[in-house]
Every structure is written in structure tokens, then in C-alpha cells.
């Protein structure tokens, strides 16, 4: 487990064990530093997945070891143990805390078992002890959602025995240990408690309800079912049987593809802020306190909100009072709805909104640290704004633009500030979607990138640094997603069958449902950029424009590929046929019966292999520095299922050779849209994975 453990015995005979293992105290007690334990070291978990040879002795049997060390030795010891919890007691940390005979926590403590998020189950008794402490239904909820609870709630649930302030935590825990020893407080062994478990019949009903719900919500995942099985074992055959089954299941899940993919995503997500040649120069992010946003439209007001919610002072600039008011009411509306939903206290609301100031000129830009421009796409307007900024702002101020179509160098043409100009591409609703593409030019300074990475993290996005290309990383990789689907439909595939196959694969929605959501106007605007820039490999279908002519433009018109009722519920539409026939006529393509009979597997491959190919191009062009960054971009920006590890990782799990062969075959039959790129051809010929850590290392030199 690593880290350092200290033990000190006080005059009262109570031993204080402190394990120091920063930054999250992977499995540690740290009263002094105010952290309990962030769980098992995930690096150790991925180590366990690798060759068996590396793992020896007890470490290879953490389950048995834990049963011996924790259950047989600690839990049944004649010396009581008490967990003193401040900060996170997550995963393995909570499991150890539950072995203790009592838990004392502060109200800011966080307790949870998030293992399922990583494709595994708790491996040190968590599946058996949590239900005994909080009851079956609540334990299932905590495990299946992976959501932690705060100190107060944990206290109400019975997961902790007492809430105290941080100052008195250690003293109260010490006192509790003495009280237990003197029988002034009950001596509880969590594992053998039974008072919270319902009679067998009722318990089994709760379990089968949870099982059905998990099957519905995560149909592609095995491990939630396994978790329920393991809990059930304990309920029926007793906690010892449950512990053994947990241990065995944990070993199997650890080696599953789901776990490998989810761990990859976990590490890749942490690593997006490591950019070779930028973040390894010893630069520290400069402090950014005040941010100006130019343009209070949809985009600008969303960005403003993300910033004020996370403590930044924001100046919002508009052209006139009317537009400024409109921008303010947009921010106000979303924040107010959060207050109504109970997600934001009145007090926090007042504090948040007070950070926002509206202006109509540049007077207050003197002490601004960062400006984000979000006005309409108009080159001369943006050039003028950037020239003005150079005049009014301090020489260290960063100038960011929300543009995606206008060259950043062109925007800065009339300035001498190229090193502090950068692009920020927020994903649609900046307050919901967690991805931020940070676009650097060849002239952007490393310091500017480091500063933006820091802002990105502070406003709770996952920042990914990219170089400019049409569509940046996400839209570029995924343009074939819609185009391939359109190609299939023109040749005879069914729209709804495609969407169903894609959602079964794990995407939040299929390509047609997505077009409806985004709106045909935006979809065409984005699509046409690719048609313009990559004419040789884009598929230009007339289906969407034809539907637009008939005032079908997606959800906003209540009609697109689906029909929508007042609650935005989508249902298929028979009328679609006539538009498809028209589109076919224009493109001169005839129906091929086999397209009507495509299997789900065929659909997945024909829609996603071109996406993998485009991701390879993006990677080979150096738009992203790491293949793993593209994985994160797809997972966070498009909702690609994390349990498949991201687009490049998934491509590797399928195999570069197979993907290359299929694409080559289709390109002969259906045209250049499917033609694989040189990079994919090389990797396939070598039988090598798509990502090449070696090349990534070289690019650092």
C-alpha cells in the first residue's frame, strides 16, 4: 500500500495510527492532516491486473489477507478500534473504517464505495458491511450509483456514530475507544450485525428490484449484477460466505475488459493536463481572479456562469443595455432553477451572482487577467476586438476566443500579442458538459496554456489541449458518425434500427436522434465545414436539407428524424420514407437489400470504424499529443461509453488489422468515404496498436 505509518500510544493507553501517503492518503489514517483515506492506490490495482509473476505472497490474495487481517484479527480483536474520519473515506478507506467498532466523523467527511465506477466491486468486505450498517436498499443505492454521502447524511444513515468538529475529532475518537472498552458504548462488529437487514423474503425482493433496475440502466455491464449477487450471498448464507464470494468475484472483475477500460479512462482523464513541452517546464499557473467575457449571447452567458459558480469575478461586456440585460437574465434563469431544485442555496446564489458585473465599454478591463471573446463569427469584428483588448488590458492578460471557424492567427493579425492568444472550445452547454478543448497555435506560449489548463480544472471541466484543425478533436473525429449513418440509410438501412444499435452499443443517443437534438441548422453548418475541407472523404447526403425544406429541423420544430411531443419524447415517423426516397433519387443511389438486413455488429462497425480512422488521422497529424487525450475527448465530448475505454482504446480492443481490412473492403464497394488512412495502414501492417507510446515519447524530444 505504500506510504508511512506512525503509531503513538498516549498515556491513556489508546494507540493512534496515522498512515501518511499523500496526496489522497491512499489507504491511510491521518488525523493531523485532516484526511482519512482516499481508498486503495489505483496504480496498485492496475499492477494487479498485469502478469501474475509480479504478484507474490499475500498481495496476490488481498481477499484472503483482508479476511484474515481485517475480519479475523482487527474486527474480532479484544482491543476496540475507532475510525476518525475527516475528508474522504472512499473505497478501501471506507471499507477499513467499517471494520472498526465505531466511526467518528466531521460534517465535511465524505464516505462512499465508488468501486463500481471502475468496473470492480469493493474487495475488502464493503459489500458485506455496508448493508449491515445502512440497510440493504441504501447500500445498494450507494454502491450502484458510486455516489458518496457527506458526514451528516452518513450519521443519519448509521454509517457513522457521531459527528464532531475537526478540532475535537481525535479526542472524541480516543474517548470513544475508551468508552467501548469500558462498555459505556456498544462494542459493535459491523459484519455480524443483523438489525438493519430485513426478513429474508423482503431482502430478496429488494435485491431483485435492484437487479432489474441495474439491467435496465447498465445493460452492457456485468459487474453491477455481480455486486448484487455477492450481497445476496451474504444475505442468504451469512457474511463469511459473502466475504469469500466477494473475494473471488473481485479477482475475476479485476481482469475484465470493462475494468481495464474504466481504469484507462480514469488515468487518461488525470493525464490530459500533462502536455509534453508545456507542463514539464516547471511553469506555475498564474493566478487568475478576474475574467472578462465579450458577448453575452448563449455562449458567453454560459461561460460566465461556469466561472462565477467557481469563484471567479466576471465582467460581461455587451453592445447595449438590452443585450446585456438578456445575458444577465440567462445566467439568472439557470441559477434560479438550481435554487428551486435545491442544488444551490439562496446564500450561494446571492454570492455567485454578485461576482458578475455587466459593462458596455472597456473601462474596467485594466485589471482583467483573462478575456474570453464569444461574439458572432465575423473576422473584422473579432480583429477589432482583439486590437482594442491590446489597448485596454494589461500586457499579461490572456486573450481567448470561442471561435471555431476563424483562424486564430488571423484574429490576432492586428496585434503583437500572438503568444497570449488561445482558443477555448466549450462543449455545448458549458454548465453541463465537462469538456474544454484548449486550442493552441504555434505561437501560443506554454505559460498561456498552463494558465488555461488551471482555469479549465477550476471550472470543473476536463481540459484537453489540441492544435487547430477543422472541428478540433471531438467534432473532427465524429463527423463520420453522422455521415456514415446517412450513407447506410440511403442504401436501404433503417434509421431507427441504426439509432437502436448505436445506443445498445452504449452511446447516449444514435446519430439521428443527435441531429434532432442539435438542430439541423447547426448539423448542416458543422457538416459543411468538413465537406469543404475534406471533399475526398466526406459523404454528402441531401436527406437533411430536403427535410429542412419541409420545415423539419429537429426537436425545436417538434419534427426531425423523429416526432416530438410536448415533453420532447421522441417517436418514429413513417413519413420519413418519402424524404429518404427523394434523397436517394438525387444521389442516384439504389437500395441494396443487404442494407435492410444489417446486423447490429455490422452497423456498429460501419458507423464507428470511420470514426476510428478519423481519430487516427487526428493523432497522426499531432492535433492531440496523446492517443489517450482523444479517448477522453470522445468520452467527455460525445458520450462514447467509458467502459469501452474511448475511441482509440476501443479500436485497439477490436484490432488495427481487422479495422483496416474492413474499411478497405467497404471503400472498394462504397467509395472513398471508407478509405483507411496511411497511419492506420501502417499500424495494421505491423499488427501494432493504434496508439504508439514510442512516437508519443519521440514527439517530446
Ligand X SMILES: *[C@@H]1O[C@H](CO)[C@@H](O)[C@H](O)[C@H]1NC(C)=O
Stretch that binds ligand NAD, among 312-320, 459-467, 505-513, 680-688 (CB under 6 A): 312-320
Asked whether 612 and 659 are in contact (CB, 8 A), the reply is yes
Stretch that binds ligand X, among 229-237, 257-265, 272-280, 468-476 (CB under 6 A): 468-476
For cell 481477499, what's the residue?
A: 63
Residue 642: CB atoms within 10 A of its CB come to: 24
The SS3 of residue 435 is: strand
Binding residue for ligand NAD, selected from 376, 410, 568, 686, defined by CB under 6 A: 376
SS3 sequence of 447-494? HHHHHHHHHHHHCCCEEEEEECCCCHHHHHHHHHHHHHHHHHHHCCCC
Binding residue for ligand NAD, selected from 86, 95, 246, 318, defined by CB under 6 A: 318
- The interface with ligand X within residues 298-357 (CB under 6 A) comprises 299, 302-303, 341-343
For cell 470504424, what's the residue?
A: 609
State residue 434 phi and psi, 5-degree precision.
Answer: -90, 0
Is residue 95 part of the annotated active site? The answer reads yes
In this structure, the dihedral spanned by the alpha carbons of residues 447, 297, 557 and 528, taken in order and rounded to 10 degrees, is -40
Instruction: Give the β-pairing of 88-90 and 102-105.
Output: unpaired
- In the complex, the smallest distance separating the C-beta of residue 68 from ligand X, rounded to whole angstroms, is 40
Residue whose CB is less far from ligand NAD, 163 or 375: 375
Binding residue for ligand X, selected from 402, 447, 483, 538, defined by CB under 6 A: 402
- The interface with ligand NAD within residues 569-608 (CB under 6 A) comprises none
Cα–Cα distance measured from residue 480 to residue 466, given in angstroms and rounded to the nearest whole number:
20
Sign of CA dihedral 317, 465, 605, 599: negative
Binding residue for ligand X, selected from 11, 56, 380, 571, defined by CB under 6 A: 380
The C-alpha cell of 366 is what?
485594466
Binding residue for ligand X, selected from 381, 387, 591, 688, defined by CB under 6 A: 381
The C-alpha cell of 498 is what?
441504426
- In the complex, the smallest distance separating the C-beta of residue 538 from ligand NAD, rounded to whole angstroms, is 20
For cell 483573462, what's the residue?
A: 370
- In the complex, the smallest distance separating the C-beta of residue 443 from ligand NAD, rounded to whole angstroms, is 21
Residue whose CB is less far from ligand NAD, 66 or 475: 475
DSSP E strands, 153-209:
162-163
Cα–Cα distance measured from residue 173 to residue 273, given in angstroms and rounded to the nearest whole number:
39
The C-alpha cell of 653 is what?
480492443
479 binds ligand X (CB under 6 A): no
Residue whose CB is less far from ligand NAD, 303 or 607: 303
217 binds ligand X (CB under 6 A): no
Cα–Cα distance measured from residue 77 to residue 466, given in angstroms and rounded to the nearest whole number:
56
- In the complex, the smallest distance separating the C-beta of residue 515 from ligand X, rounded to whole angstroms, is 16
Stretch that binds ligand X, among 96-104, 135-143, 296-304, 680-688 (CB under 6 A): 296-304
Stretch that binds ligand X, among 425-433, 494-502, 578-586, 613-621 (CB under 6 A): 425-433
Binding residue for ligand X, selected from 146, 213, 404, 557, defined by CB under 6 A: 404
- In the complex, the smallest distance separating the C-beta of residue 672 from ligand X, rounded to whole angstroms, is 20
Asked whether 487 and 541 are in contact (CB, 8 A), the reply is yes
Stretch that binds ligand X, among 21-29, 402-410, 446-454, 615-623 (CB under 6 A): 402-410
Measured distance between the N- and C-terminal CA atoms of the chain, rounded to whole angstroms: 34
296 binds ligand NAD (CB under 6 A): yes
Residue of 75, 115, 246, 318 with catalytic role: 115
Closest CA to 423 of 448, 392, 387: 448
User: What is each CA distance from 137 to 133, 154, 210, 347, in whole angstroms?
Assistant: 11, 14, 8, 33
Binding residue for ligand X, selected from 77, 378, 394, 653, defined by CB under 6 A: 378
Q: Which does 423 bind (CB under 5 to 8 A by kind): ligand NAD, ligand X, none?
A: ligand X
The C-alpha cell of 556 is what?
425545436
Nearest position to ligand NAD, beta carbon: 297
406 binds ligand X (CB under 6 A): yes
Binding residue for ligand NAD, selected from 121, 254, 372, 375, defined by CB under 6 A: 375
Is residue 413 part of the annotated active site? The answer reads no
Closest CA to 331 of 297, 289, 285: 297
Binding residue for ligand X, selected from 430, 453, 517, 598, defined by CB under 6 A: 430
SS3 sequence of 100-152? CCEEEECCCCEEECCHHHHCCCCCCCHHHHHHHHHCHHHHHHHHHHCCCEEHH
Cα–Cα distance measured from residue 286 to residue 442, given in angstroms and rounded to the nearest whole number:
21
- In the complex, the smallest distance separating the C-beta of residue 480 from ligand NAD, rounded to whole angstroms, is 20
Stretch that binds ligand NAD, among 104-112, 271-279, 372-380, 508-516 (CB under 6 A): 372-380
- In the complex, the smallest distance separating the C-beta of residue 434 from ligand NAD, rounded to whole angstroms, is 17
Q: Footprint of ligand NAD on this chain (CB under 6 A)?
A: 294-300, 317-319, 323, 374-377, 381, 385, 402-403
Q: Footprint of ligand X on this chain (CB under 6 A)?
A: 299, 302-303, 341-343, 378, 380-381, 384, 402-408, 423, 425-426, 428, 430, 439, 468-470, 533
Residues with catalytic function: 95, 115
Amino acid at each position: 500500500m505504500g506510504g508511512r505509518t506512525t503509531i503513538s500510544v498516549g498515556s491513556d493507553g489508546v494507540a493512534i495510527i496515522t498512515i501518511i501517503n499523500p496526496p489522497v492518503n491512499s489507504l491511510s489514517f491521518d488525523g493531523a492532516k485532516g484526511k482519512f483515506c482516499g481508498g486503495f492506490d489505483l496504480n496498485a490495482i492496475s499492477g494487479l491486473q498485469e502478469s501474475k509473476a509480479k504478484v507474490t505472497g499475500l498481495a496476490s490474495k488481498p481477499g484472503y489477507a483482508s479476511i484474515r487481517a481485517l475480519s479475523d484479527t482487527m474486527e474480532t480483536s479484544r482491543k476496540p478500534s475507532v475510525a476518525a474520519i475527516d475528508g474522504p473515506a472512499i473505497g478501501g478507506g471506507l471499507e477499513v473504517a467499517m471494520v472498526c467498532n465505531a466511526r467518528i466523523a466531521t460534517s465535511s467527511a465524505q464516505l462512499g464505495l465508488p468501486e463500481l465506477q471502475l468496473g470492480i466491486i469493493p474487495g475488502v468486505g464493503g459489500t458485506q458491511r455496508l448493508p449491515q450498517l445502512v440497510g440493504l436498499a441504501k447500500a445498494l443505492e450507494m454502491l450502484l450509483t458510486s455516489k458518496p454521502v457527506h458526514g451528516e447524511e452518513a450519521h443519519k444513515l448509521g454509517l457513522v456514530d457521531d459527528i464532531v468538529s475537526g478540532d475535537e475529532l481525535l479526542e472524541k475518537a480516543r474517548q470513544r475507544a475508551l468508552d467501548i472498552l469500558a462498555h459505556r458504548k456498544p462494542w459493535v462488529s459491523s459484519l455480524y450485525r443483523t438489525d438493519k437487514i430485513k426478513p429474508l423474503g423482503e431482502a430478496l425482493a429488494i435485491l431483485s428490484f435492484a437487479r432489474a433496475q441495474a439491467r435496465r440502466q447498465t445493460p452492457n455491464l456485468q459487474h453491477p449484477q455481480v455486486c448484487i449477487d455477492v450481497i445476496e450471498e451474504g444475505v442468504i448464507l451469512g457474511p463469511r460466505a459473502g466475504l469469500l464470494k466477494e473475494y473471488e468475484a473481485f479477482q475475476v472483475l479485476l481482469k475484465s475488459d470493462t475494468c481495464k477500460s474504466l481504469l484507462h479512462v480514469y488515468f487518461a482523464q488525470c493525464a490530459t493536463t500533462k502536455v509534453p513541452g508545456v507542463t514539464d517546464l516547471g511553469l506555475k499557473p498564474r493566478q487568475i481572479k478576474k475574467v472578462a467575457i465579450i458577448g453575452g449571447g448563449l455562449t458567453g452567458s454560459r461561460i460566465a456562469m461556469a466561472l462565477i459558480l467557481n469563484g471567479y469575478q466576471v465582467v460581461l461586456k455587451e453592445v447595449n443595455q438590452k443585450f446585456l440585460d438578456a445575458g444577465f437574465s440567462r445566467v439568472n434563469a439557470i441559477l434560479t432553477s438550481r435554487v428551486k431544485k435545491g442544488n444551490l442555496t439562496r446564500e450561494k446564489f446571492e454570492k455567485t451572482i454578485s461576482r458578475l458585473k455587466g459593462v458596455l465599454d472597456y473601462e474596467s478591463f485594466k485589471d482583467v487577467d483573462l478575456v474570453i471573446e464569444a461574439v458572432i463569427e465575423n473576422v473584422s469584428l473579432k480583429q477589432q476586438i482583439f486590437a482594442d483588448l491590446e489597448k485596454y488590458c494589461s500586457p499579461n492578460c490572456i486573450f481567448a476566443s470561442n471561435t471555431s471557424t476563424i483562424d486564430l492567427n488571423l484574429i490576432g493579425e492586428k496585434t503583437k500579442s500572438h503568444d497570449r492568444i488561445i482558443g477555448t472550445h466549450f462543449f455545448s452547454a458549458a454548465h453541463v458538459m465537462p469538456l474544454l478543448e484548449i486550442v493552441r497555435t504555434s505561437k501560443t506560449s506554454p505559460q498561456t496554456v498552463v494558465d488555461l489548463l488551471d482555469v479549465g480544472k477550476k471550472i470543473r471541466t476536463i481540459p484537453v489541449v489540441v492544435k487547430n484543425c477543422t472541428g478540433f478533436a471531438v467534432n473532427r473525429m465524429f463527423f463520420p458518425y453522422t455521415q456514415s449513418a446517412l450513407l447506410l440509410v440511403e442504401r436501404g438501412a433503417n434509421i431507427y434500427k441504426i439509432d437502436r444499435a448505436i445506443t445498445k452499443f452504449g452511446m447516449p443517443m444514435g446519430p439521428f436522434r443527435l441531429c434532432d437534438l442539435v438542430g439541423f441548422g447547426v448539423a448542416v453548418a458543422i457538416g459543411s465545414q468538413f465537406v469543404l475541407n475534406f471533399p475526398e472523404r466526406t459523404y454528402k447526403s441531401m436527406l437533411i436539407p430536403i427535410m429542412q425544406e419541409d420545415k423539419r429541423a429537429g426537436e425545436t420544430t417538434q419534427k426531425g428524424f423523429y416526432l416530438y411531443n410536448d415533453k420532447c419524447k421522441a417517436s418514429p415517423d413513417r413519413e420519413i420514407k418519402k424524404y429518404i426516397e427523394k434523397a436517394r433519387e438525387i444521389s442516384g443511389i439504389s437500395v441494396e437489400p443487404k442494407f435492410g438486413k444489417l446486423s447490429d455488429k455490422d452497423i456498429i462497425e460501419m458507423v464507428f470504424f470511420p470514426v476510428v480512422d478519423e481519430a487516427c488521422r487526428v493523432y497522426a497529424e499531432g492535433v492531440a499529443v496523446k492517443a489517450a487525450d482523444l479517448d477522453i475527448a470522445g468520452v467527455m465530448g460525445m458520450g462514447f461509453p467509458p467502459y469501452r475505454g474511448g475511441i482509440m482504446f476501443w479500436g485497439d480492443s477490436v484490432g488495427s488489422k481487422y479495422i483496416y481490412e474492413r474499411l478497405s473492403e467497404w471503400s472498394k464497394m462504397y467509395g472513398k468515404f471508407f478509405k483507411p488512412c496511411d497511419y492506420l495502414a501502417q499500424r495494421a501492417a505491423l499488427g501494432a496498436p493504434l496508439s504508439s507510446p514510442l512516437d508519443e515519447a519521440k514527439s517530446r524530444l
